[in-house]
């Protein structure tokens, strides 16, 4: 104990000393800076790689860097390019290094499953590892800073960026946010294989009205604090270096100019010490919002509200000097922003060695590290959700004589990569494993794999149907790969109709008519509505976009080398008319039941209120039995805990993993409480016949919520505890009481 205490004191002492010395170094640089140089640090421009927003034409960037008028670049890839920019920065008066930022959202060269897919794994270690590898590769490629993780809660699958987050739930979202921050930032910022993470988009961007990207958000404080803010708070607690604000207005105030969000909550209540970058052009977009008259007012509003760096809009560059001279913006605000930015440059070690991340040899090594592909394959397999498996059609035998692999997504390489893939200059796409290649490599020598495209992803052309039907007729089993194109979900990719595009479901219908068993692989960046497929295909794997190892991972699952374990982190609606639909809804005064009784209750007269697939749902090749639920007590005092245990047994014939979910319901609250809220989960691996007893701890914190005055705390009374395999597949329910 003594030793641990001593060690703790030493660590605290070293941290304080390091902070002190960094602060001193920051101040010593700040003292030397002119106002123009300070404002320069607050600007970030786009470089020449693919633009991820409307570009401001500027042929003068190099001289601005030389004059110390730029703090950061984005979309600047590779050690050669970053080195050449940093060389220019080193010609500036104070030699302040540039920061290179990039959207490394689901991998750098090695592409991982899109974040929503990865969230299906509920596997925090795997998610951390994927971010770790992305950071290792990106930092080797000269990048200091990723604009990830996106921690926006999203409950509307029409919104294209639903693919980029962790789904609908604040608890799961917070755990995943923490894992991703840890993965990106590694053990310490400044390690050569770490990058700064960036929690975005602050805040509530995912609640855009109608699912339309960049749209307004109108939301109560309760919803904001209870559902949309927790993953951001988790990111702060995990030590995240930066935040990005968002395009949307919230309750009439653009997030970029929102002091309540950035000053009161983030830098005030949460004591966030990193810096905030605007979203692309979002400072200037406040003019379009109708909240400020011109760029001058936009810059004033953003800097006052706590936006430290202007991504691409040029309003800081064009107006901040004038604003400071006119005493509209106090110098202390500028100094605070610049200090925050310089501090990160020091923490990254860039003042000591500006070229630390520009090592071409390391770049080559890390971008060709075979371990990365192996990890990507494992994580991709963990992200595939088995939605349906009638009569144990899956897994397939590797000795199946003839397999027909049909559909527009069988052969493509890049489609597997998803929206935010990075096409690195000089790297071709051949390292991506197509679905065809994955399956082809898996099957035995005696098996034949046949192919037909059938149709395109979009359009009405059915000319390929006869060929596809003929191919299916020759096979013992058909695998059909359909879904969205990779650019159909993502930024600015909202869709009002989220059913399967084109004639792909008709192709399925034609194939089913052959009488052959058809396994559907559904590739998408969002929950789609696909009732025909869901009701008629005997087996469905939701494969999302799985990244560069997609083909191998799909084959691993199809042929049973990996038993699917993923569960949905977002509700799948049965109709677009149900959106928004999420599991943690209120009961209402007139709760609906699925008994076709529409007698003045909260239901639809023409549609079930239940989703097609609920939050937490996902099948396995094996079966799990839940038994022996035990609560250590039935009454709990404040600051006390209840230990909950439950035994899980693998009763099937495959080794597999189960995600055991714990939900709570506060029966009576001063503010109405949801019918259930996820409060804990555990993913356990069991061999056939094996069982394990797992424990959960219920404490005050798990029972707490924000009351009407936005005070966080638990209220005495009765609670239900539910343990299950999904939000609807509840295996045990018990009650307990919290007493004063
Ligand atoms: C706009 C997006 O909203 C943001 O997430 C991204 O990081 C920036 N563009 C930079 O590409």
Judge whether 189 lies within some domain. Answer: no
Please state the separation of Cα 377 from the chain's center in Å: 18
Please state the separation of Cα 250 from the chain's center in Å: 21
Measured CA to CA, the distance from residue 182 to residue 128 in angstroms comes to: 6
pTM of the model as a whole: 0.97
Cβ of 377 less than 6 Å from ligand 1: no
DSSP string, 213-282: TT--B---HHHIIIIISHHHHHHHHTT--EEEE-SSEETTEEGGG-HIIIIIIIIIIT---SEEEPPTTT
Q: Which residues pair with 523 in a beta bridge?
A: 483
Please state the separation of Cα 646 from the chain's center in Å: 30
Cβ of 280 less than 6 Å from ligand 1: yes
290: domain range? Answer: 33-98+247-368
Q: What is the mean pLDDT of residues 684-693?
A: 98
Residue 309 per-residue DSSP state:
B
Question: Do 393 and 527 fall into the same domain?
Answer: yes
Q: How far is CA 47 from CA 58, 308, 402, in A?
A: 10, 20, 51
Cβ of 279 less than 6 Å from ligand 1: yes
Residue 1's pLDDT is what?
55
- The residues annotated with a catalytic role in the active site are 279
Q: Which DSSP helix (H) or strand (E) runs through 390?
A: none
Distance 357 CA to ligand 1 centre (A): 23
**Ligand 1 atom closest to 205 (CA):** 3
Task: Measure the N-to-C terminal CA separation of the chain; round to a whole number of Å.
Answer: 34
What are the pLDDT digits (tens) for 20-48?
Answer: 699 999 999 999 999 999 999 999 999 98
At 70 the three-state DSSP class reads: coil
Residue 19's pLDDT is what?
67
Residue 50's pLDDT is what?
81
Residue 234's pLDDT is what?
98
Which of 44, 280, 420, 421 is the pocket-test mutation for ligand 1 (most atoms within 8 Å of CB)?
Answer: 280
Q: Which residue CA neighbors atom 7 of ligand 1 most closely? A: 147
Residue 32's pLDDT is what?
98
**Ligand 1 atom closest to 148 (CA):** 7
Distance 102 CA to ligand 1 centre (A): 9
Cβ of 52 less than 6 Å from ligand 1: yes
Cβ of 493 less than 6 Å from ligand 1: no
Question: Do 386 and 361 fall into the same domain?
Answer: no
Nearest residue to 224 (alpha-carbon basis) of 248, 198, 251, 197: 251
Judge whether 296 lies within some domain. Answer: yes
Judge whether 534 lies within some domain. Answer: yes
Q: Which residues of 46-61 are buried (b: 16+ CB within 10 A; e: fewer)?
A: bbebeebbeeeeeeeb
Cβ of 147 less than 6 Å from ligand 1: yes
Judge whether 351 lies within some domain. Answer: yes
> Is 345 within 8 Å of 96 (Cβ atoms)?
yes
Question: Do 414 and 505 fall into the same domain?
Answer: yes
Cβ of 567 less than 6 Å from ligand 1: no
Structure tokens at 552: 């191998």
Cβ of 719 less than 6 Å from ligand 1: no
Question: Do 532 and 488 fall into the same domain?
Answer: yes
**Ligand 1 atom closest to 52 (CA):** 11
Question: How would residue 595 be classed by pLDDT, with cut points 50, 70 and 90?
Answer: low
Residue 596's pLDDT is what?
62
Q: Counting Cβ atoms within 10 Å, is residue 543 exposed (0-12), middle (13-18) or buried (19+)?
A: buried
**Ligand 1 atom closest to 75 (CA):** 11
What are the pLDDT digits (tens) for 390-412?
Answer: 999 999 999 999 999 999 999 99
Residue 548 per-residue DSSP state:
T
Identify the domain boundary among 368, 402, 419. 368
Q: Residue 116: what are its φ and ψ, rounded to 5°?
A: -65, -35
Nearest residue to 385 (alpha-carbon basis) of 524, 148, 221, 567: 567
Distance 324 CA to ligand 1 centre (A): 28
Cβ of 491 less than 6 Å from ligand 1: yes
Q: Which DSSP helix (H) or strand (E) runs through 38?
A: helix 35-41
Which of 46, 50, 52 is the pocket-test mutation for ligand 1 (most atoms within 8 Å of CB)?
Answer: 52
Identify the domain boundary among 368, 389, 409. 368
Question: Do 359 and 385 fall into the same domain?
Answer: no
**Ligand 1 atom closest to 164 (CA):** 5
> Is 81 within 8 Å of 521 (Cβ atoms)?
no
Cβ of 285 less than 6 Å from ligand 1: no
What are the pLDDT digits (tens) for 199-229?
Answer: 999 999 999 999 999 999 999 999 999 999 9
Say yes or no to pLDDT of 4 above 60.
no
**Ligand 1 atom closest to 201 (CA):** 5
Judge whether 141 lies within some domain. Answer: no
Say yes or no to pLDDT of 53 above 60.
yes
Distance 643 CA to ligand 1 centre (A): 43
> Is 131 within 8 Å of 556 (Cβ atoms)?
no
What are the pLDDT digits (tens) for 287-337?
Answer: 999 999 999 999 999 999 999 999 999 999 999 999 999 999 999 999 999
- Label the pairing between strands 43-46 and 72-74: parallel
Q: What is the mean pLDDT of residues 46-65?
A: 89
Question: Do 513 and 654 fall into the same domain?
Answer: no
**Ligand 1 atom closest to 198 (CA):** 7
Domains in the chain: how many in total?
3
Identify the domain boundary among 518, 546, 565. 565
Q: Which residue CA neighbors atom 1 of ligand 1 most closely? A: 280
Cβ of 502 less than 6 Å from ligand 1: no
CATH number at residue 504: 3.40.50.1700
Q: What number of other Cβ atoms are within 10 A of residue 252's Cβ?
A: 11
- Radius of gyration from C-alpha coordinates of the chain: 27
CATH number at residue 724: 2.60.40.10
Cβ of 103 less than 6 Å from ligand 1: yes
Judge whether 220 lies within some domain. Answer: no
Distance 213 CA to ligand 1 centre (A): 12
CATH number at residue 279: 3.20.20.300
> Is 176 within 8 Å of 226 (Cβ atoms)?
no
Question: Do 387 and 516 fall into the same domain?
Answer: yes
DSSP string, 288-316: HHTS-SSHHHHHHHHHHHT--BEES--HH
Q: What percent of the chain has pLDDT above 90?
A: 93
Question: Do 47 and 81 fall into the same domain?
Answer: yes
Cβ of 200 less than 6 Å from ligand 1: yes
Question: Do 352 and 405 fall into the same domain?
Answer: no
Q: Which residue CA neighbors atom 8 of ligand 1 most closely? A: 280
Q: Which DSSP helix (H) or strand (E) runs through 450?
A: strand 448-452
Distance 617 CA to ligand 1 centre (A): 31
Question: How would residue 16 be classed by pLDDT, with cut points 50, 70 and 90?
Answer: low
Question: Do 91 and 47 fall into the same domain?
Answer: yes
Distance 151 CA to ligand 1 centre (A): 13
Q: Which residue CA neighbors atom 11 of ligand 1 most closely? A: 52
Distance 515 CA to ligand 1 centre (A): 47
Q: How far is CA 188 from CA 273, 339, 344, in A?
A: 16, 20, 12
At 684 the three-state DSSP class reads: strand
Cβ of 49 less than 6 Å from ligand 1: no
Q: Counting Cβ atoms within 10 Å, is residue 496 exposed (0-12), middle (13-18) or buried (19+)?
A: exposed
Distance 279 CA to ligand 1 centre (A): 6
Q: What number of other Cβ atoms are within 10 A of residue 669's Cβ?
A: 14
Q: Residue 535: what are its φ and ψ, rounded to 5°?
A: -85, -20
Cβ of 312 less than 6 Å from ligand 1: no
Q: What is the mean pLDDT of residues 339-363?
A: 98
Question: Do 548 and 463 fall into the same domain?
Answer: yes
Report cis status (omega within 30 of 0) of the bond before 190: no
Distance 280 CA to ligand 1 centre (A): 6
Say yes or no to pLDDT of 718 above 70.
yes
Say yes or no to pLDDT of 368 above 60.
yes
Q: What is the mean pLDDT of residues 543-565?
A: 98
Residue 248's pLDDT is what?
98
Q: Which residues pair with 73 in a beta bridge?
A: 45, 100
Looking up tokens 């395009």 gives 247
Residue 429's pLDDT is what?
86
Judge whether 19 lies within some domain. Answer: no
Distance 293 CA to ligand 1 centre (A): 24
> Measured on CA atoms in the order 723, 597, 528, 553, is the torsion positive or negative?
positive
Distance 433 CA to ligand 1 centre (A): 28
Q: Which residue CA neighbors atom 3 of ligand 1 most closely? A: 279
Angle, to 10 degrees, between the axis of helix 315-325 and the axis of helix 331-347?
130
Which of 105, 197, 279 is the pocket-test mutation for ligand 1 (most atoms within 8 Å of CB)?
Answer: 279
Question: Do 360 and 388 fall into the same domain?
Answer: no
The Cβ-side half-sphere exposure at 455, using a 13 Å CA radius, reads: 27
Judge whether 578 lies within some domain. Answer: no
Nearest residue to 211 (alpha-carbon basis) of 711, 715, 570, 540: 570
Residue 333's pLDDT is what?
98
């Amino acid at each position: 104990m003594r030793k641990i205490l001593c060690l703790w004191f030493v660590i605290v002492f070293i941290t304080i000393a390091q902070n002190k010395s960094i602060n001193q170094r920051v101040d010593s640089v700040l003292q030397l800076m002119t106002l123009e140089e300070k404002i320069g640090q607050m600007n970030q421009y786009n470089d020449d790689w693919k633009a991820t927003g409307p570009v401001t034409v500027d042929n003068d960037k190099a001289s601005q860097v030389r004059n110390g008028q730029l703090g950061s670049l984005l979309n600047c890839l590779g050690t050669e390019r970053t080195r050449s920019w940093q060389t220019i920065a080193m010609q500036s008066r104070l030699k302040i290094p540039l920061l290179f930022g990039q959207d490394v959202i689901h991998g750098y060269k090695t592409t991982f499953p899109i974040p929503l897919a990865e969230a299906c794994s509920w596997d925090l270690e795997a998610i951390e590892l994927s971010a770790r590898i992305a950071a290792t590769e990106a930092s080797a490629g000269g990048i200091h800073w990723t604009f990830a993780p996106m921690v926006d809660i999203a409950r509307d699958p029409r919104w294209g960026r639903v693919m980029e987050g962790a789904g609908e739930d604040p608890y799961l979202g917070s755990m995943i946010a923490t894992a991703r921050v840890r993965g990106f930032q590694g053990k310490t910022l400044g390690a050569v294989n770490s990058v700064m993470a960036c929690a975005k988009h602050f805040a509530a961007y995912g609640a855009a009205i109608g699912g339309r990207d960049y749209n307004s958000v109108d939301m109560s404080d309760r919803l904001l604090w209870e559902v949309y803010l927790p993953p951001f708070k988790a990111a702060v607690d995990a030590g995240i270096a930066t935040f990005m604000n968002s395009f949307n207005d919230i309750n009439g105030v653009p997030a970029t100019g929102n002091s309540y969000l950035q000053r009161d909550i983030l830098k005030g209540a949460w004591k966030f010490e990193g810096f905030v970058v605007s979203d692309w052009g979002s400072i200037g977009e406040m003019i379009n919002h109708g909240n400020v008259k011109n760029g001058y007012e936009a810059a004033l509003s953003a800097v006052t509200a706590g936006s430290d760096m202007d991504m691409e809009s040029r309003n800081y560059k064009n107006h901040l000097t004038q604003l400071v001279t006119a005493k509209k913006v106090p110098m202390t605000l500028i100094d605070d922003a610049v200090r925050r930015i310089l501090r990160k440059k020091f923490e990254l070690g860039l003042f000591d060695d500006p070229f630390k991340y520009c090592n071409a040899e390391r770049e080559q090594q890390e971008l060709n590290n075979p371990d990365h592909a192996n990890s990507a394959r494992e994580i991709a397999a963990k992200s595939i959700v088995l939605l349906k498996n009638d009569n144990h059609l899956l897994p397939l035998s590797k000795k199946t004589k003839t397999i027909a692999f049909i559909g527009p997504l069988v052969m493509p390489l890049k489609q597997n990569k998803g929206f935010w893939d990075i096409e690195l200059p000089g790297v071709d796409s051949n390292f991506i494993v197509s679905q065809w290649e994955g399956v082809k490599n898996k099957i035995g020598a005696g098996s034949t794999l046949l192919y037909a495209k059938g149709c395109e992803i979009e359009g009405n052309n059915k000319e390929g149907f006869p060929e596809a039907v003929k191919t299916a007729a020759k096979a013992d089993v058909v695998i059909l790969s359909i879904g969205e194109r990779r650019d159909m979900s993502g930024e600015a990719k909202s869709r009002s109709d989220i059913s399967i595009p084109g004639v792909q479901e008709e192709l399925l219908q034609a194939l089913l008519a052959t009488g052959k068993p058809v396994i559907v692989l559904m590739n998408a960046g969002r929950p789609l509505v696909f009732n025909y497929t869901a009701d008629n295909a005997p087996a469905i794997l939701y494969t999302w976009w799985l990244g560069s190892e997609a083909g191998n991972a799909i084959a691993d699952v199809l042929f049973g080398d990996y038993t699917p374990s993923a569960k949905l982190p977002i509700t799948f609606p049965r109709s677009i008319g149900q959106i928004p639909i999420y599991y943690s809804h209120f009961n209402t005064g007139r709760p609906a039941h699925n008994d076709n009784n529409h007698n003045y209750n909260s239901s639809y007269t023409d549609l079930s209120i239940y989703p097609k697939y609920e939050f937490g749902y996902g099948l396995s090749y094996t079966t799990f039995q839940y038994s022996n639920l035990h609560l250590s007590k039935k009454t709990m005092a404040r600051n006390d805990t209840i230990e909950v245990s439950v035994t899980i047994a693998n009763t099937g014939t495959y080794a597999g993993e189960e995600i055991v979910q714990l939900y709570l319901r506060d029966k009576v609250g001063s503010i109405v409480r949801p019918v259930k809220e996820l409060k804990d989960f555990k993913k356990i691996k069991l061999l056939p016949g094996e069982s394990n007893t797992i424990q959960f701890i219920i404490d005050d914190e798990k029972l707490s919520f924000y009351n009407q005055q936005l005070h966080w705390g638990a209220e005495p009374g009765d609670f239900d505890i539910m343990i299950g395999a999904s939000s609807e597949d509840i295996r045990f329910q018990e009650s307990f009481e919290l007493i004063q």
